[in-house]
């Protein structure tokens, strides 16, 4: 379980993984109980920061837990790291915390809630009347709500993500205060997956996936009685696909399928519009996992797609556009291994980059 495993399997959406399933849908805490996970990585950025979590079973119907330091917001899109949009110098929220609460309504229906919070602030003050005082802050707050429903030939799941992302920077010189902040900042997502056996007794599962995510905000600066708004930024993604999860033997499992996604990012204000779109279709996924020995599992993943991209700029009646085809996941093959020692599992990924840059991911879990 964990990043080390799913990265080795090419981030296939057609596999089950306790770590990733709980993170995306807190209802899985009802089925993966009494588990501790930790993820160590030298890389930084959204989705790469090392993190840890735990889930405890509380009685027969409840589960509680938490995950610390795993980002689950849109701050990579929300904040321009060059500070050209936000010269006030705001940083992204730090040490995100996600709580986990799950309950089994009955044997067929499980629900979960995961409150999420991350915050940052920096304040400087001086008694010198000519000094510049600053007060900057950022935060992301919201929750994930998920469910799992058992059907006659499998199960279906869904999760809904809501975040309110906010930054504010105040600069005061004497009696004059200038404020830089954002309007909006709402992030919403809905994702669904099924695990359906075509016939009774079948070991091959058909796995359909479908998702929708959106996010928007607008910078705003105020100085005295003057307010200036920047470009209105928005982002949307729709994805879907279908695949198979196929245990060939007790020690070998194959998962593969095809997905497609449509992504659009737009910034507009008045007579100006900047828009980029990506249609990634088809995107092929394949994952193979085999138990080599009681203490060793080998893994192989493959993911590659074709991206039809377009970048368009419109100013008044003038429009410029660039279109083209590109490859998604140029480094398409990933390798990894799992090491099992009693109740402890250690998973590592060796991607194509490893031969130049060293190990990418390292994770472990204790069920």
**Could you give the CA distance from residue 222 to residue 204 in angstroms, rounded to a whole number?**
59
Backbone angles phi, psi at 63, to 5 degrees: -145, 145
- What does the pLDDT profile of the chain (367 residues) look like in tens digits? 788 899 899 999 999 999 899 999 999 999 999 999 888 765 555 445 688 999 999 998 999 999 999 888 887 666 443 334 344 456 788 889 999 999 999 999 999 999 999 999 989 888 887 888 888 898 999 999 999 999 999 999 999 999 999 988 888 888 888 888 888 889 999 999 999 999 988 999 999 999 999 999 888 888 888 888 888 889 999 999 999 999 988 889 999 999 999 999 998 888 889 999 999 999 999 999 999 999 999 999 999 999 999 999 999 889 999 999 999 875 688 899 999 999 899 998 875 666 555 555 555 565 5
**Could you give the CA distance from residue 116 to residue 214 in angstroms, rounded to a whole number?**
18
Residue 103: which residues within 8 A CB-CB, separation 6 or more?
30, 61, 62, 63, 110, 111, 112
pTM over 0.85: yes
User: Which residues of the chain form beta strands (DSSP E)?
Assistant: 35-40, 51-58, 62-68, 94-106, 109-124, 132-151, 154-173, 176-196, 205-223, 226-229, 232-249, 252-269, 272-293, 296-315, 318-328, 333-341, 344-351, 361-366
């Amino acid at each position: 379980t964990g990043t080390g495993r799913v990265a080795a399997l090419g981030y296939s959406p057609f596999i089950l993984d306790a770590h990733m399933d709980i993170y995306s849908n807190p209802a899985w805490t009802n089925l993966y109980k009494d588990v501790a996970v930790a993820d160590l990585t030298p890389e930084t950025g959204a989705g790469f920061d090392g993190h840890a979590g735990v889930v405890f079973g509380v009685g027969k119907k409840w589960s509680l837990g938490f995950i610390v330091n795993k980002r689950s917001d849109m701050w990579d899109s929300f904040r321009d790291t060059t500070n050209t949009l936000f010269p006030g110098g705001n940083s992204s929220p730090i040490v995100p915390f996600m709580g986990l609460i799950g309950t089994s309504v009955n044997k067929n229906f499980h629900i979960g809630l995961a409150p999420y919070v991350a915050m940052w602030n920096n304040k400087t003050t001086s008694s010198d009347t000519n000094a510049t005082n600053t007060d900057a802050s950022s935060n992301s707050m919201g929750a994930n709500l998920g469910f799992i429903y058992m059907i006659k030939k499998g199960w279906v799941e869904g999760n809904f993500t809501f975040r309110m992302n906010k930054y504010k920077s105040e600069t005061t010189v004497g009696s004059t205060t200038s404020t830089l902040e954002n309007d909006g900042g709402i992030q919403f997502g809905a994702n669904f997956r099924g695990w359906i056996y075509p016939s009774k007794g079948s070991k091959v599962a058909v796995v359909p996936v479908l998702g929708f995510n959106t996010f928007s905000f607008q910078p705003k600066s105020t100085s005295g009685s003057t307010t200036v708004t920047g470009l209105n930024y928005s982002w949307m993604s729709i994805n879907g696909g279908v695949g198979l999860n196929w245990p060939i033997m007790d020690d070998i499992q194959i998962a593969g399928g095809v997905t497609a996604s449509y992504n659009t990012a737009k910034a507009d204000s008045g007579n100006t519009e900047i828009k980029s779109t990506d249609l990634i279709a088809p995107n092929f996924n394949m994952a193979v996992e085999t138990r080599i020995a009681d203490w060793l599992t080998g893994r192989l993943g493959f993911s590659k797609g074709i991206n039809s991209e377009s970048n368009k700029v419109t100013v008044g009646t003038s429009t410029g556009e660039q279109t083209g085809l590109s490859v998604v996941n140029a480094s398409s093959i990933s390798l990894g291994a799992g090491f099992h020692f009693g109740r402890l599992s250690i998973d590592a990924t060796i991607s194509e980059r490893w031969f130049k840059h060293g190990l990418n991911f390292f994770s472990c879990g204790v069920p």
